[in-house]
Amino acid sequence: MTSDIRHKKMLTIDAKNVDFYYSEFHALKNINIEVEKNKVVALIGPSGCGKSTFLRLLNRMNDLIDGTRMTGSVLIEGKDIYAPNIHVDELRKEVGMVFQKPNPFPKSIFENVAYGLRVNGIKDKTFIEERVIESIKSAALWNEVKDKLNKSAFALSGGQQQRLCIARALAISPKVLLMDEPASALDPISTSKIEELIYELKKDYTIMIVTHNMQQASRVSDKTAYFYLGEMIEYDDTIKIFTNPTELSTQNYITGRFG
């Protein structure tokens, strides 16, 4: 099942000619993006340019909104995720998501992380327990919560809650991790913890992260895509985007001249 049996050059994410509409509103215009395995891609751009919309296309979260429409194709590990034989719940198991605001369930810390396992039909207690611990450790949260796994997740700080949400997403071992401004609601210390974490996670996952923080984008990502008014203006290596962007609009945004 792991992709090493497959073709080495297989792209993890491959979006082609993607257009997206909220009813009449044309929110994404002809987006093309390719992401290789174990890379971190940052999406940047001014508010309302469609970053979240694009991210939510990758795990078909936009299906939940009435009146939306998409054209073009999105392949994840070579599979067209908008093909009719795809079941969204199976897709979302492969493509995990961390939201802007931490959104733990009103359950215990343990149950939060175990949730994804349980809904996917895993009943083996020891397996669940091992997996929960492993995930919390991967999310760099273990030392802080190991004594209170049965306490409510709401008792954690915002930064801890966000790492819990990351642990929750990791528990079902997705191939791709989508993060929509995962640190925007957090203080600087929690933010740097999340950034370190992303650096660690890169070894096992392909990550796409939306951020408004230029330093963050340049610190954590390998590649950066700049969105503006529903269009992807530029997509290149992060170093290139931040030192020598091709487009003027990109440069203006990065240097803070607008946005």
Partner 1 sequence: MKRFFEKLVEGALLISGSITSITILLIVIFLFKEASGLFNSPVIEDGYVLAFNKDNPVKKLSSYQIKQIFDGAITNWDEVGGKEEPIEVVRLSDLTKYYTEAELGANFENIPAKASELTAKHPGIILFLPNSYIAKNFDGTLLKHETLRPGDFFGGKEWYPTASPSPQYGLLPLLLGTLWVSLGAILLSLPFGIAVAVYLAEISTMRVRNFLKPVIELLAGIPSVVYGFFGLVVIVPFLQKTFQLPVGETGLAGSIVLAIMALPTIITVAEDAMRNVPRAMKEASLALGATQWQTIYRVVIPYAKSGITSAAVLGIGRAIGETMAVLMVTGNAAVIPHTLLEPVRTIPATIAAELGEASAGGGHYQALFALGCILFIITMIISISVEFISSKKYSK
Partner 2 sequence: MTPIINTGNIDRKKRISQGVAFTIFKLMSYSVVAMLILILGFIVSKGIGAISWDFLTKAPEEGMTKGGIFPAIVGTLCLVAGSSLFSFPIGIMSGIYMNEYATGNKVATFIRIMTNNLSGVPSVVFGLFGMSLFVNTMKFGDSILAGSLTLGLLSLPLVIRTTEESLKAIDNSYREGSLALGATKLQTIQKVVLPMAFPNIITGLILSIGRVSGETAPILFTVAAYFLPKLPTSIFDQVMALPYHLYVISTSGTDIEASRGIAYGTALVLIVIVLIVNLLANFLRNYFSKKVKTN
Ligand X SMILES: Nc1ncnc2c1ncn2[C@@H]1O[C@H](COP(=O)(O)OP(=O)(O)OP(=O)(O)O)[C@@H](O)[C@H]1O
Considering the complex, what minimum distance in angstroms separates the CB of residue 245 from partner 2? 36
Cα–Cα dist 161/183, whole Å: 11
Count of residues making up the chain: 259
Considering the complex, what minimum distance in angstroms separates the CB of residue 141 from partner 1? 17
Closest CA to 237 of 11, 13, 29, 34: 34
Considering the complex, what minimum distance in angstroms separates the CB of residue 26 from Mg ion? 17
Q: Which helix (H) or strand (E) holds 77?
A: none
Contact status: 69 vs ligand X (CB under 6 A): no
Cα–Cα dist 100/182, whole Å: 5
Contact status: 92 vs partner 1 (CB under 8 A): yes
Contact status: 198 vs partner 2 (CB under 8 A): no
Q: Which of 6, 26, 69, 90 binds partner 2 (CB under 8 A)?
A: 90
Enter the tokens of residue 113. 């992380």
Q: Which of 21, 22, 82, 99 binds partner 1 (CB under 8 A)?
A: 99
Cα–Cα dist 184/175, whole Å: 24
Contact set for partner 2, span 69-88 (CB under 8 A): 87
Residue pair 225/54 in contact by the 8 Å Cβ criterion: no
Q: Which of 163, 168, 193, 223 binds partner 1 (CB under 8 A)?
A: 168
Considering the complex, what minimum distance in angstroms separates the CB of residue 195 from ligand X? 19
Cα–Cα dist 230/45, whole Å: 10
Cα–Cα dist 166/227, whole Å: 25
Contact status: 22 vs partner 1 (CB under 8 A): no
Backbone CA torsion sign across 6, 12, 17, 18: positive
Contact status: 154 vs partner 1 (CB under 8 A): yes
Contact status: 8 vs partner 2 (CB under 8 A): no
Location of structure tokens 């002809």: 30
Q: Interface with partner 1 by CB under 8 A: which residues?
A: 59, 61, 64, 66, 88-90, 92-93, 96-97, 99, 101, 103-106, 115-116, 118-120, 154, 165, 168-169, 172
Residues in touch with ligand X (CB under 6 A) = 22, 25, 27, 45, 47-53, 65
Residues at the interface with partner 2 (CB under 8 A): 1-2, 87, 89-90, 93, 117, 119-122, 131, 134-135, 138, 170, 172-173, 204
